[in-house]
Amino acid sequence: MIPPPFLDPLVIRSCCADAGLAANYAQAFVDFAAGVRADPELARQATAARDHLFDATGTEDETVARAEAAFGDDAHLLRGLMLLESIRLVRERQNARGVPADITHATLDHHPYSTLRDYYAQHGRAGADRWIWSWYRTVGSGDLYRLGRLEFIPEKWVLPFRFFVHTQTGETLAILDAGERFDDEGYNTGATTWATTLTETDEAIVGCPISPRGFALQAPVRLPRREWRLALGPGDTVLDMHIPGDEPLAIEPVRSALLSAEPFFDHFYPEQRFVAYVCDSWVFSTQLEAMLPPESNILRMQCEGYLFPVGDGQAPFLNFTFGATSIDLATAPRDTRLRRAVIAHMEKGGTLRCGGFLLLRRDLARFGEKPYRNYSHYSGLAPNLR
């Protein structure tokens, strides 16, 4: 019987070779796969995990958790095997679109390749540590690409607000859907105290806006339809950006990546013409304004987009700043200004949140000019001035 590709020794060796892994490393996975093929129950569990990770559309956590439990002490090898499967899928799917091999390699190098290599360097054996399972699916989709400083993946806009642009001035304003709840500072975290309203007629849209600085404003604004046009709404294609942590977040490399994304996706994804670049990350938390100097790369990057609230985010914030989703305030390292600021904030009882960033494609030429802060009177309002 021909084994499924993720258990095929030839495929496993090929993927390991692409990742620059030694022959003995590949052999460990080949031997593990042989044992899985020989055990019907383990084969069933591994196949279920693989199918839920890469072919299903719903949650995969429960199925994967059962598979990990079934493999016990060998769960690290199962995770590694799933990473190798993501390599196969990315190669296959991007090759079908005609994507150059060097771009595929750059994309794989930051995720499955480096994850497999890092595990071997730390543990001296083949496998992978626990990873965010949804990222297996994201990478394995073949739609994620590393283009210079950033990674991009086409997505549909589903967040509960729309962006409008003034036909004469070019001012951009985000208007929230009705019923979204926020606290007194305009964030959708913790205890909320008010809800947004929205009224639409043939003449105008009256709703609660989001300041370009990243918080909701309670006082509704009126946008006459003859003066404002919709720039981004439900179902529109956006490029979701991911920021690898292997380089500084300098403005010029980011600009170069954004510029390269336009022709790339227009060529390889002509059926999905995108209208904006977006990102949800700890990097765009508005709390960082009080933690970092104005000249920091992170705050300079924040100023180049339209920020918006995204909800809680303490675990990812800590993970990217301390390498763990929780910390002991008494013993956590205080070796950087940011870490010291985060600890001080938490010692006062504060929690952390992430934030969102948007740059309309039409405004790419103005990247570097603070296009939303310099061209919107709403950017000057503070939360307590709603």
pLDDT of residue 377: 64
Say whether both 148 and 138 belong to one domain: no
C-alpha 97 chain-centroid distance: 23
Paired tokens of 359 = 């740059």
Quote the CA–CA distance of 97 and 374 in Å, as a whole number: 40
pLDDT of residue 57: 66
Say whether both 199 and 134 belong to one domain: no
The number of folded domains in the chain is 2
Say whether both 9 and 87 belong to one domain: yes
Checking if the pLDDT of 29 tops 80, the result is: yes
Say whether both 80 and 119 belong to one domain: yes
Q: Where are the beta strands (DSSP E) in the chain?
A: 145-147, 150-156, 161-166, 172-176, 181-182, 194-195, 198-200, 204-207, 209-210, 221-224, 228-232, 237-242, 276-281, 306-312, 353-360
> Which residue, of 142, 171, 195, is where some domain finishes?
142
CA separation, residue 86 to residues 112, 190, 261 (Å): 7, 37, 23
Helices (H), 333-383: 337-347
Say whether both 102 and 197 belong to one domain: no
Q: In the chain, what percentage of residues exceed pLDDT 70?
A: 96
Say whether both 136 and 166 belong to one domain: no
pLDDT, averaged across the chain: 92
Say whether both 21 and 81 belong to one domain: yes
Question: Tell me: the pLDDT tens digits for 94-145?
Answer: 999 999 999 999 999 988 898 899 999 999 999 998 777 788 889 999 999 9
> Is residue 80 domain-resident?
yes
> Is residue 183 domain-resident?
yes
Say whether both 169 and 190 belong to one domain: yes
User: In the structure, what pLDDT confidence band is assigned to residue 325 with cuts at 50, 70 and 90?
Assistant: confident
Say whether both 112 and 100 belong to one domain: yes
Neighbours of 39 (CB within 10 A): 12
pTM: 0.91
> Is residue 118 domain-resident?
yes
pLDDT of residue 378: 65
157 and 189 in contact (C-beta within 8 Å)? Answer: no
Say whether both 245 and 263 belong to one domain: yes
User: In the structure, what pLDDT confidence band is assigned to residue 56 with cuts at 50, 70 and 90?
Assistant: confident
Least reliable range by pLDDT among 171-180, 268-277, 322-331:
322-331
> Is residue 327 domain-resident?
no
Say whether both 126 and 243 belong to one domain: no
Q: In which domain, by residue range, is 138 found?
A: 5-142
> Which residue, of 93, 109, 142, is where some domain finishes?
142
Quote the CA–CA distance of 140 and 31 in Å, as a whole number: 23
